[in-house]
C-alpha cells in the first residue's frame, strides 16, 4: 500500500493516470498534452509500472500505456477515488480538453465515471484507431527516434 500511495503522491503521475482512465495512451501523446519532456514522462510512467498501476505494450517503436486495475477492490477503490478527485482539478480538465482536441479521444470527467471495473479491463483501443492517431500526431524524426 505504501508504494501505491507514493505513486499517487505526484501531480504529474496523477495527470498521466487521468489521461489513461478509459483508454490506452501513447507516450508521445502524454508529452504533447502535458508539455513535459519524453524522459520525464517515461520516468513517471516507469514509477507507475513499478507500483503495478500501469502496464505497457509495444507496437513497433511506440509504447502504449494503460491503467492496470488490480483484482483487489480496496486498491482499485483508492485509485478510482484519486482519479475522481484529480479529474475536477483545472489542469486535469485542461489536459482532457487538449487531448480531445489533439487526438479526438474523450477522457471522462467526474460526472461520467465508468460503472464497472470490467470497462477498464477492456480499455485497449482498436489497432486501426491507434494507427489513425499515430498518423495524426506531429512528431518529427528526432522525437520519433527518442520514443
Is 143 part of a structural domain of the chain?
no
**Residue 108 belongs to domain spanning:** 2-128
Q: Is the pLDDT of residue 35 over 70?
A: yes
Band of pLDDT at residue 102, cut at 50, 70 and 90:
confident
Q: Is the pLDDT of residue 111 over 50?
A: no
Closest CA to 21 of 62, 58, 53: 53
Is 86 part of a structural domain of the chain?
yes
Average pLDDT, the chain: 78
Query: Would you state the pLDDT for residue 142?
Result: 47
Give pLDDT tens digits for 37-67.
999 999 999 999 999 999 999 988 889 999 9
Between residues 121 and 15, the one the model is more confident about: 15
Query: Would you state the pLDDT for residue 106?
Result: 59
Q: What is the mean pLDDT of residues 83-100?
A: 92
Q: What is the pTM of this model?
A: 0.70
Beta bridge partners of 64: 26, 57
Share of the chain above pLDDT 70, in %: 71
Is 137 part of a structural domain of the chain?
no
Q: What is the DSSP letter of 71?
A: S
Closest CA to 110 of 130, 136, 138, 81: 81
CATH number of the domain that 49 lies in?
1.10.10.10
Q: Nine-digit cell at 2?
A: 505504501
Q: Number of folded domains in the chain?
A: 1
Closest CA to 41 of 8, 3, 6, 12: 12
Share of the chain above pLDDT 90, in %: 56
Amino acid at each position: 500500500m505504501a508504494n501505491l500511495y507514493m505513486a499517487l503522491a505526484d501531480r504529474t503521475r496523477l495527470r498521466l493516470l487521468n489521461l489513461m482512465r478509459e483508454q490506452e495512451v501513447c507516450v508521445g501523446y502524454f508529452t504533447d498534452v502535458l508539455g513535459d519532456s519524453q524522459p520525464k514522462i517515461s520516468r513517471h510512467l516507469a514509477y507507475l509500472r513499478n507500483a503495478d498501476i500501469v502496464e505497457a505494450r509495444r507496437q513497433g517503436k511506440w509504447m502504449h500505456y494503460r491503467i492496470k486495475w488490480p483484482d483487489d477492490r480496496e486498491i482499485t477503490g483508492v485509485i478510482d477515488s484519486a482519479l475522481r478527485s484529480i479529474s475536477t482539478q483545472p489542469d486535469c480538465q485542461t489536459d482532457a480538453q487538449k487531448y480531445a482536441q489533439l487526438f479526438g479521444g474523450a477522457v471522462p470527467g467526474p460526472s461520467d465515471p465508468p460503472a464497472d471495473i470490467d470497462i477498464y479491463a477492456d480499455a485497449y483501443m482498436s489497432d486501426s484507431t491507434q494507427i489513425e492517431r499515430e498518423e495524426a500526431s506531429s512528431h518529427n524524426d528526432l522525437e520519433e527516434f527518442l520514443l
